[in-house]
Structure 1
Amino acid sequence: MKEYTMTSPSQATPTLVTTGANANDQLLYFTSSSLSGSDDCLVFISDRSGHPNLYLKRLPDGEEVQLSANTEGTLKSYVYFNGNPRRGFGKASVSFDAAGRKLYYLQGDDIVCCDLQGNRRVLGRIPADQVTAFTHVSTDGQRLCIPTTDARALEAESFVNDAPNYSVGDGEKKNEVIADKPDYDIDARVQAENLNSYLNVYDTESGGLLKRERVSRAWITHVQFSPVDADVILYNHEWPGDCGIRRMWIWNGREHIRLRQEGDGRSRADWTCHEMWEADGSHIIYHGKYANGLAYVGRVDPQGHAPVEIALPAAYHRYGHFTAGNRHGNWLVSDGYYHPEGAPENENWGGEWICLQQVDWARRQIEWRPLCQHRSIWDCQDSHPHPIFNHADGAVFFTSNASGRRAVYRVAVPD
C-alpha cells in the first residue's frame, strides 16, 4: 500500500479521519451532510465487515461504531447498476437528518430509520417493480424523498466499463475493469418505452406515504428538498440526450419548473449536472460543460429566473463537484477543475485538488483557493472525493483512495 503526501500552497495538512485497516471508507453522497448538526459525529460507509454498512465516528474521542447490519452486499440502484436486485444495502440511499441525528437508508426493499445508537426500525417498503437512487431528508427531519423509476429502466444483461486508465503515482498505471453501467442508453429506453419515475415523499415518523408524483418519461436519480420549504423539491433527469435543458427541475407541489433554457449562450447540447441548493434556499448551484468544451459553474433561482453562468479557464477541464457552504452563500468547495499555472497535464480524469471558491456572481468572477491535493483515483463512484463543509464551515471533509484504499480526510479552512 502506497502512501502519498498531499501538498498545498497554503500549507494545509489533511488529517486522516477514518481508520478501517484494509477497508474502504467513504462519505455519504454529497447532497447529504455526513456530519451531525453539532459537528461532533461523522457517519460514513465502510466495507470493513465484508459488506457495505453504515458506521459512526465520534470525533471528540475517535470511537467508531457499526450502525447497520447488512450481510447481503450492495443493492442494485442508480450508480450501483450491477448490485443485487431487491437485496443488500443501498449505498446510494443514505440520507442524514443532521439535526435530528437520524439516518435513513434502504435495506433491500425496506426503508430503514436508524439513530446514532444503532437502533433501527422499518418505516415501509419500496414497490417491488421500482428501482431507486439518491434520497433526501428535509431540513426539519419530517419528510423523506425517495425517487424511484420503473425497474425496466435498469434491466441489463451486460455492462460496459467507461473508466479510463488512471495514474497512481511513479508512472504506474491501474486499469481496473469495472462493470459500471448498462450497455445501452438508459434515457433512450425510458423515452422509447414510456417509462416513469416517481417522487415519493414519506413521513419519517409514521412511514406513511404523503405524496407520490409521477413524472412521465423520466429517469430521476437526484432529489433535494429546499432547505427552507419542504414542499419544494429539486430533481433531475439523468443522462438525457438534451442535458443542457432537461437536467434540472423544481416540483413545488403544483407544477414542474424547468430551470435551464436555451439562449444567452446556453444550448441543449451543453452538459449540465450536480445541481444543489444554497443554504438559504434562494438559489441552486450547478456546473457542467458548454458545447464548445469550456467548463462552467452556474446559479439560478427556484423559478428558473436570472441564471448566471461563469465559464472556467480552458485548462480547468478536469471534472469535479461543487458543494455550497452552510453559512456563507458565496463560498463553494470543489474536488476538480483547478489546474495550477504551469503544471503539466496528467492522465487523471478528475482533478487532484480540494479548492475553495469565493464567487462574485454579479461580476462573474471566481477566486480559487487551493487547500490540498486529494490525489484520489477516480476509478469508480465510491472514490469520488465529494467534499463537504462541516456545519461551522471551518473544515472540509472528503474521500480519497490515494493510499490504495478509500478513507475519509479532513482539512482545515483558513480564517
Structure 2
Amino acid sequence: MIGTKYSSEKSSYVDEKTGRTIWQLTAGSANNVHLYFTDNSFSIGDTEIYFLSDRGNERNTYNFFRMELATGEMTQMTDEPGGIGYSTKTPDSELLVYVAGKQIKKLNTRTGEISVIYEETEGMTLWSPFISPDKKRLGFCRNEEVSVIYGNNYTGFKETMYAIKRGYVTIAHMDGSGAYNAFEDTHWLAHFQFSPHNSNLAMFCHEGPWNVVHQRIWLLDLSTGKVKPCFRQAEDDSVGHEFWTRDGNIFFDNRRKGHDGTITSNRTQVTEITEESGQIPYIGLADEHGEVIKTIPMPFYCNHYHANNDNSLLVGDEVDDLVMIALTGDEPELTTLCTHHTSWSSQKTHCHPTFSWGGDRLLFASDRSGAIQLYLLEL
C-alpha cells in the first residue's frame, strides 16, 4: 500500500577480501533492485535512494520505494497490482516514471499525484523511459511484440534481436497532452537517454549481442529529427554499456572482436584478453556530435563501468569483485574495493555499481545471500 513504512534493515559487515566496511541496506526474502546504471537511484544531495522491491507483493512483482539512508526507513511509493517494469526518475527525484502494463505513469513525489502520460494502443512493448533535463518530455523505445522464450542467462537475447523488425523512439509530453514518434527503425531499440544538459539531444542503441550489432550507439536531434551514429564501428568493434557522463559526453565500452556483451552464472565470457584475438578492450568518450575525443585501453575483467563527476574514476564489476579504476595516470590503475559474489543469472542480479551524485558513495546489488539486496560502499 502506498505510504506503508518499513523499518530499517541496515547492517554492516567487513569485506572478506579488502577489510572495507560495507553497508547492506536491505535484507530478508524480498528482492530489491536499484535503478539501471544509466539512471541514478540517489536523489541529489545523496540522503535518499529510490529503488524497486517486491516486498509486500508476489515474487518478482515490483513497486517503487524510497529509503532514507541515515535511518534506513523505507516508504512504499507505488502500488501497481501487476507490478512495474522499466522505470526512471529525475535527478532530484521529484518525478518518477514507470511502465505498468501498457501504460507509462508519472508520480510526483511532492504531491503524491499519479497520472498516465502514455498508453500503448498498437501492441508494441515499452522500453527505456527517460526524462528530459527540463522535465517537459519523456523519451522511450517501442518495439514490436515477438514470440521469444525468455529466461535467465540471456535466454532469448539474440533471438529477440533477429525477430524485431520494427521499432520506434517515441516522445511523450510529461503533462500527458500527447506523444509522437520521433524516429522509426527496423531494429530492436533500447537504452534511450536524454543528454543531461540538452533537452533536444538524446541517444539510443541497436540492442542485441554486441558482436553481431553493426552499429550500437545512435544520436537523435529532436529539433531536426535527424539521426547519426556515435563512434562509427568497424568489423572488430563490440560496443555497449553507453551512458552520458555528467559533463555531457558519451561513455562507451569496446570489448573488441567476438565479445557478445554478456556475463552468465557460469562465469565464462569473452572479456579476457586472448592470444587468438590479440585485441585489447578499451573505453571511449565521444562528444555530443558523436566524435571520439578519447580512448583508454582497459584490459580488465569488468562487465559494467560507471564514471564519477569528472571522469577521473571508474567503478567496475568484475566476476566476483567491485573495483575502482583511476584514469589520472599514464595507464589505468585498478584497486579492488570489495567482493560482491552475485550470481549474474538475470539482469536484476547484475551489480550495476553506480556513483552517488557527490561521488563518495557506491550503490550496487547482489544476490549473494539468496534474494537480491542493495549494498552501499562509502569511499
TM-score normalised to the size of structure 1? 0.76
Residue 26 of structure 1 deviates from its aligned partner by 1.1
Which of 169, 184, 189 is residue 215 of structure 1 equivalent to?
A: 184
**Are residues 1:12 and 2:10 paired?**
no
Q: Which residue of 2 aligns with 1:251?
A: 220
Q: Which residue of 2 aligns with 1:310?
A: 296
In structure 2, give the amino acid aligned to 1:17: L
The answer as to whether partners of 1:135 and 1:145 remain within 8 angstroms in 2 is: yes
For 1:246 and 1:240, locate their aligned partners in 2 and report how far apart those are by CA, in whole Å.
11
For 1:392 and 1:249, locate their aligned partners in 2 and report how far apart those are by CA, in whole Å.
29
Q: Which residue of 2 aligns with 1:227?
A: 196
In structure 2, give the amino acid aligned to 1:89: I
Q: Which residue of 2 aligns with 1:120?
A: 114
Residue 5 of structure 1 deviates from its aligned partner by 6.0
Q: Which residue of 2 aligns with 1:97?
A: 90
1:80-103 deviations in Å (ceiling 9; x for gaps): xxxxxxxx521xx21011225221
Q: Which residue of 2 aligns with 1:149?
A: 143
CA 127–330 in structure 1, closer or farther in 2 if over 3 Å, else same: farther
Q: Which residue of 1 aligns with 2:286?
A: 300
For 1:143 and 1:129, locate their aligned partners in 2 and report how far apart those are by CA, in whole Å.
22
Structure 2 portions without partners, runs of 5+: 1-11, 258-276
Structure 2 counterparts to residues 277-356 of structure 1, below 5 A: 277-281=244-248, 283-291=249-257, 292=277, 294-313=280-299, 316-317=300-301, 319-325=302-308, 327-336=309-318, 351-356=319-324
The SS at the match of 1:186 is: helix
For 1:8 and 1:100, locate their aligned partners in 2 and report how far apart those are by CA, in whole Å.
35
1:123-164 deviations in Å (ceiling 9; x for gaps): 23123421122221123322211111122xx322x4465x3x
For 1:234 and 1:8, locate their aligned partners in 2 and report how far apart those are by CA, in whole Å.
38
CA 103–216 in structure 1, closer or farther in 2 if over 3 Å, else same: same
1:69-124 deviations in Å (ceiling 9; x for gaps): 1222xxxxxxxxxxxxxxx521xx21011225221001111211113365422223
The answer as to whether partners of 1:53 and 1:89 remain within 8 angstroms in 2 is: yes
For 2:364 and 2:17, locate their aligned partners in 1 and report how far apart those are by CA, in whole Å.
15
The SS at the match of 2:342 is: coil
In structure 2, give the amino acid aligned to 1:139: P
Q: Which residue of 1 aligns with 2:206?
A: 237
For 2:339 and 2:173, locate their aligned partners in 1 and report how far apart those are by CA, in whole Å.
41
Q: Which residue of 2 aligns with 1:26?
A: 33
The answer as to whether partners of 1:37 and 1:99 remain within 8 angstroms in 2 is: yes
The SS at the match of 1:332 is: strand
Structure 1 portions without partners, runs of 5+: 73-87, 164-179, 337-350
For 2:348 and 2:211, locate their aligned partners in 1 and report how far apart those are by CA, in whole Å.
27
Q: Which residue of 2 aligns with 1:261?
A: 232
Residue 63 of structure 1 deviates from its aligned partner by 1.7
Which of 323, 326, 347 is residue 358 of structure 1 equivalent to?
A: 326
The SS at the match of 2:198 is: coil
In structure 1, give the amino acid aligned to 2:106: C
Residue 411 of structure 1 deviates from its aligned partner by 0.3
For 2:298 and 2:43, locate their aligned partners in 1 and report how far apart those are by CA, in whole Å.
33
The SS at the match of 2:285 is: strand
The answer as to whether partners of 2:353 and 2:362 remain within 8 angstroms in 1 is: yes
For 1:160 and 1:29, locate their aligned partners in 2 and report how far apart those are by CA, in whole Å.
19
The answer as to whether partners of 1:245 and 1:258 remain within 8 angstroms in 2 is: no
Residue 309 of structure 1 deviates from its aligned partner by 3.0
CA 330–211 in structure 1, closer or farther in 2 if over 3 Å, else same: farther
Identity %: 23
Q: Which residue of 2 aligns with 1:348?
A: none
Residue 306 of structure 1 deviates from its aligned partner by 3.1
For 1:312 and 1:394, locate their aligned partners in 2 and report how far apart those are by CA, in whole Å.
23
Q: Which residue of 2 aligns with 1:110?
A: 103
Residue 401 of structure 1 deviates from its aligned partner by 1.0
The answer as to whether partners of 1:243 and 1:270 remain within 8 angstroms in 2 is: no
The answer as to whether partners of 1:245 and 1:260 remain within 8 angstroms in 2 is: no
In structure 1, give the amino acid aligned to 2:123: D
Residue 356 of structure 1 deviates from its aligned partner by 2.0
The SS at the match of 2:199 is: coil
**Are residues 1:58 and 2:68 paired?**
yes
1:357-379 deviations in Å (ceiling 9; x for gaps): 22249x5x312232211111111
The answer as to whether partners of 1:132 and 1:221 remain within 8 angstroms in 2 is: no
Which structure's residues are more often strand, by fraction?
A: 2
For 2:143 and 2:366, locate their aligned partners in 1 and report how far apart those are by CA, in whole Å.
31
Residue 44 of structure 1 deviates from its aligned partner by 0.9
Residue 257 of structure 1 deviates from its aligned partner by 1.6
The answer as to whether partners of 2:95 and 2:106 remain within 8 angstroms in 1 is: yes
The SS at the match of 1:246 is: coil
The SS at the match of 1:122 is: strand
Residues matched between the structures, number: 342
For 2:15 and 2:377, locate their aligned partners in 1 and report how far apart those are by CA, in whole Å.
11
Q: Which residue of 2 aligns with 1:189?
A: 163
In structure 1, give the amino acid aligned to 2:359: D
CA 196–46 in structure 1, closer or farther in 2 if over 3 Å, else same: same
Q: Which residue of 2 aligns with 1:200?
A: 170
